[in-house]
Structure 1
Amino acid sequence: MIIVLGLVIAVAAIAAGVAGVAANTSDANRLTSDFSVFDYHFAGTTGELFLIGIIVGVAGGLGVGLVSAGAWRSTRRGLATRRELRQSRKEIAATQRDLAEAERPAKRPAPARPAAPAWSMSKFLRKPGKGAATTK
């Protein structure tokens, strides 16, 4: 859904850009003064200036996208490394516990308790004084 929405917005932006450039390329839309960037003087129409602005905007957007993709990738890599470290620490702790148990003297077994019933009706019976209020 987000990809479709992004494509619709991109197509709308391209259509608006083409319409803006096409509507402002006649001689009536000439710039009245020089426009300069980094000592490069530009004397053209407002549509051409708008087109250059679109190109600069796309280049800036690609740059920001690359920076955010790089940050996302390094974040994911860090998460994976921390996950592996956590798993390794768990394995080391388990191994140390196993070694400690193997070194202890054997305990004598606990006396066997009588087996409790798996299900008891008494668990489900209401006991006096507990639960809902009783009327007198």
Structure 2
Amino acid sequence: MLIILGLVVAVAAVAAGVAGVAANTSDVNRLTSDFSVFDYHFAGTTGELFLIGILVGVVGGLGVGLVSAGAWRSTRRGLTTRRELRESRREMAAVQRDLAKTKEPVKKPVPTTTGKRESAWSVSRLLRKPDKSAAAAK
């Protein structure tokens, strides 16, 4: 329904534009002074000026339409990605629940204390440590 209404409005706008240009093309409707836009001097009839205004409006409308279409597409793509992420998380949670039911709980070894206590935060934890197996292979 909206498409048909949009087509009717577009046809009416084209008809009004053609009628406005045709009615204002005689010598009586000549512009009394010329004007310039981007260093282009225009001296014509009011009908020609109206036609140029219509063309500028159409180009502007197409630009706004392209921006809207791009934003809509980006929004739809983001929605699809978020939906897939939620679905993936649900699947992972279901798999983890199934694994928890079938597996026996793994007992973690009790750490032995050497008497030396490390601070909760230290730079050495953030630095990469050399691989012990590489040193043993030498």
Q: What residue is the counterpart of 2:121 in the other structure? A: none
SS at match of 2:31: coil
Matches of 1:59 and 1:103 in 2, distance apart? 66
Q: Which residue of 2 aligns with 1:128?
A: none
TM-score (structure 2 length as normaliser):
0.74
> Per-residue deviation at 1:31?
0.5
Identify unmatched segments of 5+ residues in structure 1: 106-136
Matches within 5 A, 1:34-113: 34-104=34-104
For residue 35 of structure 1, report the CA deviation from its aligned partner. 1.8
1:93-118 CA distances to partner (integer Å, 9 max, x unpaired)?
Answer: 0010001111248xxxxxxxxxxxxx
Which whole-Å CA distance do the structure 2 matches of 1:58 and 1:93 have between them? 52
For residues 27-63 of structure 1, the C-alpha deviation after alignment (integer angstroms, 9 at most, x for no partner) is 0000111121111110000000000000000000000
What is the alpha-carbon root mean square deviation over aligned residues?
Answer: 1.0
For 2:6, give the aligned amino acid.
Answer: G
SS across alignment from 1:25: coil
Point out where structure 2 has 5 or more consecutive residues left out of the alignment: 106-138
For 1:66 and 1:2, the matched residues in 2 are separated by 19
Q: Distance in 2 between matches of 1:8 and 1:2?
A: 10
Helix, strand or coil at the partner of 2:73: helix
CA distance in 1, matches of 2:35, 2:98: 77
Q: Superposition pairs for residues 125-136 of structure 1, below 5 Å?
A: none
Q: How many residues align?
A: 105
Residue 33 of structure 2 aligns to a residue whose secondary structure is coil
- The amino acid across from 2:95 in the alignment is T
Q: Which runs of 4+ in 1 moved over 4 A?
A: none
Amino acid at match of 1:64: V
Percent identity between the two aligned chains: 85
AA at the equivalent of 1:21: V
State the alpha-carbon separation in 2 of the partners of residues 12 and 36 from structure 1. Answer: 30
